[in-house]
Amino acid sequence: MEIREKEYGILDLLAIPFRCNWAAAGFILLQRVLLGLVPTVQVIATAAFIDGVLDVYWGKGELADVYGSLLVMVALVAYNRLIWRALSLAGVRLDMGYQAGVRTAVTAKRSRLAYHHIEDAETWDLLNRVSNDGQTQILGGFNSLLTLGSSIIHISGLVVLLFSQVWWAPLLILAFSIPLFALGIKGGRATYEVNREVSKYRRRHEYLGEVLLSREAVEERALFGYGEALNEKWNEFYEKARVKQYQTQRKWYIRMKTGSVITAITSFLIVLVLLNPVLTGVISVGMFISLVNAVFGLVQVMSWDFTMVMDQLARSREFLKDLTEFAKLEETPGAVELPARVIPEFSTLEFKDVCFSYPGTEKMVLDKLSFRLDAGRNYAFVGVNGAGKTTIIKLMTGLYQNYSGEILLNGRELRTYSPSELKAFFNVFYQDFSRYYIPLGDNIALGDVNHGYDLTQIEEVVAQLDLDDVVSKLPEGLDTPLGRIKEGGQDISGGEWQRVAMGRAMYNPAPVRILDEPTAALDPIAESRLYQQFEQISQGKTTVLISHRLGSTKLADHIFVIDGGTLAEAGSHGELMEQGGLYREMYESQRGWYS
């Protein structure tokens, strides 16, 4: 299935389940219609039964005559109680259909999204809502619609029956009750708004609760002793949320119970209307009794069921809005393709007056940035925090394309390359590299998906990175799943994960290798070691180091100093030191500690 771009509306609550599994959805629909008819048939059967028994009492009939209607009554009860199992199984089929059809389509679309959506906090929430709540909201909405339909059939059946007995009764009743119900439904919208306000306070106190109980904050919490003061504040927010919620719930209950009291009064009216006909013998006692029972039975339907259905439909409609938004999100064509099979030759990469700001923001992260990389050399980008170093990588690898100026790869504008071609050029060792919970060997083999799993080559990588100790420790060596997802999965330490990621980088044949600044979790010694190792395994490649720590950047042939989104200085370490600019200042500030 595909997530088509369109306005999703309430009818899609029917259409989507039918597309997921038409047989299951159709079966459920049919049964819910039948279930809506059951009460009416039940009334007729019960009426016949009671009248039969009364006839026997009054000496007008035989007991044998009532068995037929009794049988129908029993059969209806049986149907009513047993059909739910079949409905439940059909529901499972529908769940599965949703999972296989819609959820995977959502995942597929998410994996193709233009990258800026991923970094946008609001879109991110939307994405998670669409993935996580979809099944509940769509299928829940489907069920609610059916319940609504079923209730309408249920009520209409009784109205028709009533009409056939006393033709003017239903008209009177409808005239009286319809305006009242309309009023009840209207009240439902307001509560939705209040809920938003409540959730604002709730997020506040939930956050404070986290601070008060979390492991991360324990050091400051104990030493600064702010527990009590923060607890008071927690209570303040909790009470605000609670009072608001109290008010909403009061409204909710009043709305719901107004509905059922209106229904009760309507029932009362119906009984009054029917009273004279039964006393004058226009309708039978049996019909009267079973109609009264059925009409009062509606009170149940109208209170909890009706309110729940309305609430669910309101939630489903919100979700459909989300789905509409989601379907509109921009995709990057070719984003999920494999890297090009032929390893391209890299000669130059040139930024020419590149300006860039993140979508939806004003700030120029890169401001007329120009530099040039040549094949076979080692480069380093340095600069203070927020200078734009990581952004350069995102542009190089094509994650963002809305820059102005030119980026020329081998003399050709970067945007004219397909994603697949670009992937074949670059190999990035991210600071927050992925820890894939799949077998160790596959973790490395992912470095070259075109080539795939090649045992000899993987073993070479393992040997070169001294990963032997890790491999031999694992029960099934290279085939051992890492992490705790698969059964028999093993945990390895952070340092070991890093070496595995390094292995993946080594396995990657791309001609340009980029090392994004390693996380601060490393102490300076370990960091220098990482840089040295990186240089070692990158023999013959063009490398790019991103770092804010100097010293180890001396390993590079050529250093670019980025400041305020533009190139401040460039040259070898020696040249930059002579220039006496920002680089020297940074370097000296660190060296100061050692001289």
Can you tell me the distance from the alpha carbon of 342 to that of 340, in angstroms, rounded to the nearest whole number?
Answer: 6
534 in Cβ contact with 429 (< 8 Å) = yes
Q: Which is nearer to other proteins, 339 or 511 (CB)?
A: 339
**Shortest reach from residue 283's CB to other proteins, in Å:** 10
Provide the minimum distance between the beta carbon of 312 and other proteins in the complex, in angstroms, as a whole number.
Answer: 18
CB of 11 to other proteins, least distance (A): 27
3-state secondary structure 131-176: HHHHHHHHHHHHHHHHHHHHHHHHHHHHHHHHHHHCCCHHHHHHHH
What phi and psi, each to the nearest 5 degrees, are found at residue 386? Answer: 75, 15
Quick one: 183 or 275, whose CB is closer to other proteins?
A: 275
Contact call for residues 479 and 441 (beta carbons, < 8 A)? yes
CA angle at 314 for the pair 311 and 319, rounded to the nearest 5°: 130
Given the complex with other proteins, which of 145 and 154 has the nearer CB atom?
A: 154
CB of 569 to other proteins, least distance (A): 15
Provide the minimum distance between the beta carbon of 9 and other proteins in the complex, in angstroms, as a whole number. 26
**By C-beta, is 217 or 471 nearer to other proteins?**
217
- For residue 488, give Cα distances in angstroms to 198, 474, 477, 478, 532: 44, 10, 12, 13, 34
When the beta carbons of 145 and 481 are compared against other proteins, the nearer one is: 481
- Identify which of residues 97 and 140 has a Cβ nearer to other proteins in the complex: 97
Least spacing, CB of residue 353 vs other proteins, in Å: 25
- CA-CA-CA-CA torsion for 215, 216, 219, 225, nearest 10 degrees? -80
β-sheet bridge partners, residue 348: 374
Question: Cα angle at 501 between 500 and 504, to 5 degrees?
Answer: 90
Q: Tell the smallest beta-carbon distance from residue 479 to other proteins (Å).
A: 15
SS3 call for 379: strand
Nearer to other proteins, 268 or 404 (CB): 268
Q: How far apart are CA 97 and CA 14, in angstroms?
A: 14
